[in-house]
Amino acid sequence: MPDNTAPSVPAARSLGQPQMAFVRSWAEGLDLVAAWNRYLYVDGAGDGRRARGELQRLLDELRSLARAHGRPQVAALLRRDPQAMPERGARVPTLDEFAAQQPHDYYSESELIELYQEQHGVADSRSTARRRQRLRERLVEAVQWLEQVGARFPQPEDPLQAWLDERVARRLAVAGMRRLADLMFWVRTKGYHWHRGIPRVGPEGAARIVRWLREHEATLGALPRPALAPLSAIDTTALTPAPRVGIVPLERFRPPAERDGSRGTNRAAAERCKVAAANDYEAVHAWLRLRVAGTHTWRTYRKEAERFLLWAVMGRRKALSSLDGDDCVAYRDFLAQPGPEWTGPRNAQRWSEQWRPFEGALSVRSQALAITVVRSLCEWLVRRHYLDSNPWDDVPARPDAPSMPQLRALSQKQWDLVQAWLAEQHEQAPSPALHRLQFILDFAYMTGMRLAELTAARLGWLRHEPLDDGPDGDEMAWSIMVLGKRRKWREVPVPDPAMQALQTYLQRRGLDPDPLAHDPETPLIAKLGTEAPLGAARIYEILVGAFERCAVHIARHDARAAERIRLASTHWLRHTYGSHSAARGVPQDVLQANLGHESLATTSIYVRAEKGRRQRAMQQAFARR
């Protein structure tokens, strides 16, 4: 795992093959900036000032190395710069320059050379050009000798500052990377988009780092294929290792025959079973297929079912269909403190060998959610006559479990803090990515659409139609048709500020601000520089990353609000829409229709949230004077 302890002093730059190649390019008279960009990592295009500064640092180290090996004459030689030699006498034109002064195609090549020698003679061995060339030859020989005695290859335990640009090393240190081993672990674990979330390390800089790591695979080790290209460009079937017994993702897990549940002690009679599953693994997949794959709900259910199944087989050494009430109590307590073999680095990709079901101990609320999901799984298996009884039926909640989960929504004050932070970002460094973030936040907040719905939305889903009950019969309003859960369409009103945000966003994309003037299949949210739709995972990362940066910004003056904002995600915007709408008097049936809830009881959570505000208002009104 990355070491988060800061080094006491900066590490000296190491003399590796890239550094020696850079110095050798200088000795040969090649362009210094081009050599910098080719051999040494730099955050973006190099410049002459930084290249010359790095050259002087390396020359100082090489001179010290020469003196340490008893070669002071080499150290003195490295102080001479061929370009600094003054010109002596009149400048003699080169042969090409002389040829350009003669009539075109008048002389043959041999005649041209003979004429050149008659007028300018053979090059003087004492000329500046010849002396400069001899100095370069001596410098190259010196660098080659130093390369043999002093150059080394990067090692995993070397500090980042010894090999990478010091400014880049400082940015990586923010994420906990101090050594090359930490960097390799990070890239192996997180894959192609490993740089996301690291301030001021973009895709181009990340690609240059990966290219440098690949050049030194002999000493640092090889990188996995997902670190070299997006998963969309990789055959994930060939990438995924063969299924095996172990603490691995659900798609790679194969329980041993004696614990696969085909003969579970809690199995119902086979002739009554209404699910096509021969064992627990297949039964869990049958339950997951009831949800739309890839959605937030599906991922949550998969995560909790995966943890429960793995723990039953690998931790409890029993089949899931053999668990009883005592086992469920043990799992409830296990969630509070999973062992080290069950925890892995944050956001490790599922293909990575570092993946584990947990990133650490779960909070009390996360424990309650996990138990709710697996209890629901077992209840469904009972209804389908796969299980004879639900082992969770008589398991009490933990004493410290919350009686009612807190609504995952931002208060009005917290939402205002997010908007103020975003306005400040616009003033400091406006960018297309920032304009897109502003639109996603505004539109999601004012429509309550789910992440999957925002991802799938097209401009052709928008409607601009007259209201039937308008006072004059000609009142127009915007709405959007949304394809929600279970492939059901619903119509969601779009307030005027949300439409203004959309029109501004379209202009930023270089499009006509009128949403109805486009191809109906134009995505509502697009990738930068193209009209391809932005994926759900990327939208989630954009919003979570923005909330994290906002929380860091406001933590200095409001730590409590910062903690709430840090927890926020895409689904929080949907709950924020519901709670703010209820607080502003939107009727419950209107909210139910807009949010696409099948049951009014689901929508009532926002009314309960509003109830708290009303209760506090009355307490204040009638407080004892």
pLDDT tens sequence across 148-168: 887 777 889 988 887 777 788
Q: Which amino acid is at 212?
A: W
Predicted confidence (pLDDT) per residue in 473-518, tens digit: 567 899 999 988 778 899 999 999 999 999 999 999 999 999 999 9
pLDDT of residue 258 exceeding 70: yes
- What is the structure's pLDDT at 46? 59
Average pLDDT over every residue of 23-51: 78
Average pLDDT over every residue of 250-272: 92
Q: How confident is the model at residue 235 (pLDDT cuts 50, 70, 90)?
A: low
Place of tokens 């614990």: 259
Average pLDDT over every residue of 93-110: 76
Q: How confident is the model at residue 574 (pLDDT cuts 50, 70, 90)?
A: very high
Q: How confident is the model at residue 294 (pLDDT cuts 50, 70, 90)?
A: confident
Q: Which of 220-224, 432-436, 446-450 has the lowest mean pLDDT?
A: 220-224
pLDDT of residue 8 exceeding 70: no
Helix H or strand E segment including 558: none
Q: Which of 98-102, 324-328, 579-583 has the lowest mean pLDDT?
A: 98-102
pLDDT of residue 455 exceeding 50: yes
- What is the structure's pLDDT at 126? 58
Q: How confident is the model at residue 557 (pLDDT cuts 50, 70, 90)?
A: confident
> What letter does residue 6 receive in the DSSP assignment?
P
- What is the structure's pLDDT at 334? 94
Q: How far apart are CA 172 and CA 40, in angstroms?
A: 17
Strand ranges of the sheet holding 462-466, from the earlier edge strand across to the other edge: 462-466, 476-483, 489-493
Q: How confident is the model at residue 11 (pLDDT cuts 50, 70, 90)?
A: very low
Within 8 A by CB and 6+ apart from 492, the residues are 447, 448, 449, 479, 480, 481, 482, 594
pLDDT of residue 232 exceeding 70: no
Report which of residues 212 and 302 the model is more confident about: 302
- What is the structure's pLDDT at 413? 94
pLDDT of residue 523 exceeding 50: yes
Report which of residues 67 and 6 the model is more confident about: 67
* SS3 of 147-199: HHHHCCCCCCCCEHHHCCCHHHHHHHHHCCCCEHHHHHHHHHHHCCCCCCCCC
